[in-house]
Amino acid sequence: MRLAWLHLHSFRSYPALEWRPDPGVNILVGRNGAGKTNVLEAIGFLANLRSFRGAPEETLIAHNAETAVLRGEESDAQALVEVEITRKGGRRTRIGQKSIGRTSDLRSALRTVAFLPDDLDLVKGSPAGRRELLDDVATQIWPGAALDQAEFDRTLRQRNAFLKQGDRDPATLEVWDTRLAQAAAKVMGRRARAAAALEETLVESYGRIAGEETSVRFAYQSDWGGTLDPTTPASEWAKSLTGALRERRRLDFELRTTGSGPHRDDPAISLGGQGSRHQASQGEQRTLALALRLATHRAVSLQTDRLPLLLLDDVYSELDPDRSKALTDALPEAQTFVSTTRLDEVPVPGRAWQVSEGDIR
């Protein structure tokens, strides 16, 4: 995949940008606040309809404007992608002349893998970040995964709303449990398969950055069903979650929220047989975080036969020279966008661009 050009109108600090990036490596150089991350964020948004900074949509619209428009062309498939964001929350997305309603349709046109300054949290932080990583890998590989996630989220919100009502009608709860378990089983199955796909490439990715072979395991675990084998049929998981929900029923009613399910699961990564979240050293954790992103890129490329764009936001300033070089050697041949305040910090050869005052030159 290659982004041939990018047009931004009233997106964050860009009133009007028309930019033709290099098909290889693009290095965006500029002082703090120049708008480097904003560009990477725009590319990520075109691919995922979501800010990788987790920013609410209206914050993406330039302060003085009502709508932001993002447009880009992917040159391999010649897909023109266009997104319009409005302050009222209405969003329009088109590929070519066709209006699309679902994120999943967009994924096949443009995919990105982003290395972000906070990536260490993937390893050190709470399970939520790792769940999100698996969901993201799943949607990149299987277009239907986004629908499954939306369906699960909706069902969970409905069941929680039911618990909050204080109505204890067992017949109604029973149907919500059955429906939640159905939706959950699909999400869990996707996550388990995404974890397996990542695990396959994680050992190699980790080894390339660490400079030595270490065993790395990525297991998808649930608090009620133990480690989930990706070959288990969905109906089995649905049954085991239905059981768990029934067991917790009294507690759920008391706490007025759903205590078991994929939204509570903890995908765990172990390094040399030990848990990486609490037992690995700071340096190992940093290496693992980089390896996770590399593995994501590799897994998605292998499964989809296309190379996602790489976005590296201010990643090199955090790395020591050894890791910096190892990462550079391990980067795949994809179109790449790197942001930095200092060009000499980036060991990757590529085309350097100056970012300032809403323009890239």
Least distance CB 59 / ligand ATP (angstroms):
6
Which residue's CB is nearer to ligand ATP, number 52 or number 162?
52
Q: Which residues bind Mg ion (CB under 5 A)?
A: 37
Least distance CB 313 / Mg ion (angstroms):
6
Least distance CB 249 / Mg ion (angstroms):
47
Q: What does DSSP assign to residue 101?
A: -
Q: Which residues, 301 to 330, sit near ligand ATP by CB under 6 A?
A: 314
Q: Identify whether the C-beta of residue 308 lies closer than 8 Å to the C-beta of residue 43.
A: no
Best CA proximity match to 308, nearest among 43, 9, 35: 43
Give the strands of the sheet with 359-360, arranged side by side.
Answer: 112-115, 309-313, 336-340, 25-29, 351-356, 359-360
Assess 171 for contact with other proteins (CB under 8 A): yes
Among 16, 18, 59, 211, binds ligand ATP (CB under 6 A): 59
Contact stretch for other proteins (CB under 8 A) within 114-122, 174-182, 197-205, 338-346: 174-182
Best CA proximity match to 354, nearest among 29, 41, 21: 29
- Cα separation values, 190 from 6, 136, 260, Å: 32, 10, 18
CA atoms within 13 A on the CB side of 325: 3
Best CA proximity match to 268, nearest among 213, 202, 318, 182: 202
Assess 274 for contact with other proteins (CB under 8 A): no
Q: Which two tokens stand for residue 322?
A: 């050894």
Assess 78 for contact with ligand ATP (CB under 6 A): no
Contact stretch for other proteins (CB under 8 A) within 30-38, 65-73, 145-153, 247-255: 145-153
Which residue's CB is nearer to ligand ATP, number 74 or number 313?
313
Among 5, 20, 33, 87, binds ligand ATP (CB under 6 A): 33
Instruction: From the list other proteins, ligand ATP, Mg ion, none, pick the one residue 217 interacts with, judged by a Cβ distance below 5 to 8 Å according to partner type.
Output: none
